[in-house]
Amino acid sequence: MTQQSLPADRSWRTVDIVVASVIAVAFGVVFWLWGLIWTATEAAFTFFPPAQAVLYGVWLVPAVLGALVIRKPGAALFCELVAAVVSAALGSQWGAVVIVQGLAQGVGAELVFLAVAYRSFRLPVALAAGAAAGLGAAIFDQIRYYAPYDLVSFRIPIFIVTVVSAIVLAGAGSVALTRALARTGVLDRFPAGRDRTTV
């Protein structure tokens, strides 16, 4: 089965739900830890605060990774949203608002896979999904957090850096992570695991 194909049955199997949940919960913990790292590194970016958004893409990985592994409608949204819920439950410094943020990010990635009818999971599609998740995140942040800031010196730069980080870390990073997982054999029950030459 090539990654351009999709099983005729688009319904989720039990194993799909289990693995998607594992991805989501694991990244929910990562999200919470990444929030601590974000806070701890703020001083390092005082020279140009928008540059801190280079770290942002990690928060978008489960949307792309989940879709690459599960390859079923809703996987991107499910993994990103559940990860956000777990992060909030663990005590994210941003509170429950991260759940709404996770929804925006997950929808962004999901729309890209929908646009290709869930039939392509190659690198360009993953990069586009990362970019779309990044756009969802960047737009949300502009409305929720950055409205009072200067447009030219802060809002535009952080918007751009957020999307670039999403492309690299969430898009390319998820492809690399999927390939690494496939090589271990843990994805053998998924198309992503059986098709190890490309992702």
Say if residues 110 and 128 touch (Cβ distance below 8 Å).
Answer: no
Q: Indicate whether 116 belongs to any domain.
A: yes
Q: What distance in Å separates the CA atoms of residue 31 and residue 57, rounded to the nearest whole number?
A: 11
What does the DSSP 8-state code read for residue 171? I
pLDDT at res. 3: 44
Q: What distance in Å separates the CA atoms of residue 176 and residue 169, rounded to the nearest whole number?
A: 10
Token code pair at residue 160: 């751009």
- What's the number of domains the chain is made of? 1
Q: Indicate whether 55 belongs to any domain.
A: yes
Average pLDDT over residues 73-93: 97
pLDDT at res. 160: 98
Question: Is residue 193 pLDDT above 90, yes or no?
Answer: no
pTM of the model: 0.91
Q: Indicate whether 6 belongs to any domain.
A: no
> How do residues 119-174 score in pLDDT, each as one tens digit?
999 999 999 999 999 999 999 999 999 999 999 999 999 999 999 999 999 999 99
Token code pair at residue 41: 């590194």
Q: What band does 199 get if pLDDT is binned at 50, 70 and 90?
A: low
Amino acid at 93: Q
Q: What band does 196 get if pLDDT is binned at 50, 70 and 90?
A: low
Q: Indicate whether 86 belongs to any domain.
A: yes
Question: Is residue 6 pLDDT above 60, yes or no?
Answer: no
Question: Residue 36: which domain range?
Answer: 14-194
Reading phi first (left if > 0) and then psi (alpha if -120 to 50, else beta), residue 13 is in: beta
pLDDT at res. 14: 95
Helix ranges restricted to H, 71-190: 75-90, 97-115, 123-144, 156-165, 173-184
Interior angle at CA 182, CA 177 and CA 186, nearest 5: 110
Q: What distance in Å separates the CA atoms of residue 93 and residue 88, rounded to the nearest whole number?
A: 8
Q: What band does 44 get if pLDDT is binned at 50, 70 and 90?
A: very high
Query: pLDDT averaged over the chain?
Result: 93
Average pLDDT over residues 91-119: 97
> How do residues 19-39 score in pLDDT, each as one tens digit?
999 999 999 999 999 999 999
Q: What band does 2 get if pLDDT is binned at 50, 70 and 90?
A: very low
Q: Indicate whether 142 belongs to any domain.
A: yes
pLDDT at res. 135: 98
Side-chain-side CA neighbours of 73 within 13 Å: the count stands at 8
| Residue closest to 2 by CA, chosen among 106, 84, 103, 119 | 119
